[in-house]
Amino acid sequence: MKVTIRESTVHGEAHAPPSKSYTHRAVLAAGYSDADEEIVVHHPLLSADTKETMAAVQAFGGDVLEIEGAIEVDGFAGEPEVPPDIIDCGNSGTTMRLTAGAASLVDGLTVLTGDVSLRDRPNGPLLDALRQLDVDVESREGGRAPLAIVGPTDGGEVEIPGDVSSQFVTSLLMAGACTEEGIDVELTTELKSAPYVEITEEVLDAFGVDVERTDDGFHVEGGQSYRPEGDEYSVPGDFSSASYLLAAGAVAGDEPVHVHELYPGAQGDAAIVDVLDRMGADVEWDEDAGVVTVEPSDLSGVEVDVGDTPDLLPTIAVLGAVADGTTHITNAEHVRYKETDRVAAMATELEKLGAEVEEHEDELVIHGGDSDLEGAAVDSYTDHRIVMSLSIAGLVAEGETVIHGGEHVEISFPGFFDVLYDLGADVHRESEEPEVPPKPTE
């Protein structure tokens, strides 16, 4: 889908979509459950990625049913079956990594694969950890899919780096509760994206599973059962997706933008509120009401460490391109291992729009004071966060910005362009031939 965005202003009310991170974990946790009745996951995000996790739960022997505003899951009681076919995770790295842990419990073979982009994402540290648990694993170089996993594991001790992906730790913790011996996870490096593990702990606690923090990692007892109170769980709103709406209000608002369903919790990307505040935005968070209000503001460049909030890098990069002065986005090397190399992608596409950008191995520097954004044709890299962040840039770039591959917002925020339109953005969509993803320049 080709999306054309013209310079325009926004204002009004919007609702953050449900959290993708929480939905993935809640659906899989419900799959692990052994409740007498179905587990009901309320207010889930029904997107391309989360539907891959729903399909994986079914492949392992669970039963998943979409009902109005909810998902009903009849779980496999911590004992996933041998899948009847290869599990295709599409573009969802979260699905592949979290279900790799589930596959380690299967008494037999599980094969996980995905689309071209997902098959290029490394999983080596997670697969090495599974081997330490006596699981047989085969993959392409660097732990790239397809992944062939043969269990079951009884649990044990693993060493794993914490600076590649927090999803590796999440996978081990979720599966570990269903092993006989439990799992001890020793981190050999600093844990990056730590708030995502905190989300995992929060979801596990809601499902009655205990995780202990140790001096060098985590411990999860084996033999635990998954079951939330009242056999139901409600997914909160998503700060990662809301960041684009809040950024739109700050850079392109003519009146305030109010974003609802944003409550305090473990989401690290709530840091977008603080980032906007530090840049000089007029922003207010009513935590009790779950509403963040941002008014049109003059922004100034700041330094932001995204070690714990990698998904915010594209949003902050756009804010930096509009702000006066220079914005330094630091501790960003792990952001190169997402759906695409987001550091390189944002540098390349912002430069097409007229931004002055410096790309370093672990840092992205945007000289907003030297930037004068003008509309251009830009690429999505088949990455939902690249699409949404460049859409916000298009609101303030002179003329028209054309984004190829706009359909990829379906991964995390299916209604994104409808919400932008309702806020007043000049947005036009039309179908096009399927996109061949470009590779970011070095």
Q: Pick the catalytic residue: 88, 184, 311, 341?
A: 311
Q: How far apart are CA 84 and CA 90, in angstroms?
A: 17
Q: Is 165 marked as binding a ligand?
A: yes
Q: Is 389 marked as binding a ligand?
A: no
Which residues, in sequence order, are CB contacts of 425 under 8 Å at separation 6+?
A: 5, 8, 10, 248, 252, 391, 395
Residue 141, φ and ψ in degrees, nearest 5: -55, 135
Spatial contact of 190 and 182, defined as CB atoms under 8 Å apart: no
Q: Is 193 marked as binding a ligand?
A: yes
Alpha-carbon distances, residue 8 vs 4, 72, 346, 371 (angstroms): 12, 41, 22, 19
Q: Is 300 marked as binding a ligand?
A: no
Q: Is 167 marked as binding a ligand?
A: yes
Q: Is 439 marked as binding a ligand?
A: no
DSSP classification of residue 382: T
Alpha-carbon distances, residue 408 vs 3, 92, 167, 328, 335 (angstroms): 11, 12, 21, 27, 18
Q: Is 311 a catalytic residue?
A: yes
**C-alpha angle with apex 342: 126 to 55, nearest 5 degrees?**
50
Q: Is 20 marked as binding a ligand?
A: yes
Q: How far apart are CA 96 and CA 94, in angstroms?
A: 6
Q: Is 97 marked as binding a ligand?
A: no
Which residues, in sequence order, are CB contacts of 39 under 8 Å at separation 6+?
A: 30, 33, 72, 73, 74, 75, 227, 228, 231, 232, 233
Q: Is 119 marked as binding a ligand?
A: no
Q: Is 341 marked as binding a ligand?
A: no
Which residues, in sequence order, are CB contacts of 374 under 8 Å at separation 6+?
A: 353, 354, 397, 398, 399
Q: Is 385 marked as binding a ligand?
A: yes
Calculate the CA 125 to chain-centre distance: 19
Q: Is 311 marked as binding a ligand?
A: yes
Q: Is 93 marked as binding a ligand?
A: yes
Tokens of 250: 């700050």
Give, for 316, the enclosing helix (H) or strand (E): helix 313-322
Tokens of 395: 């609101």
Q: How far apart are CA 321 and CA 306, in angstroms?
A: 17
Catalytic center residues: 311
Binding-site residue numbers for phosphoenolpyruvate are: 20, 93, 121, 167, 342, 385
Binding-site residue numbers for 3-phosphoshikimate are: 20-21, 25, 165-167, 193, 311, 338
Binding-site residue numbers are: 20-21, 25, 93, 121, 165-167, 193, 311, 338, 342, 385
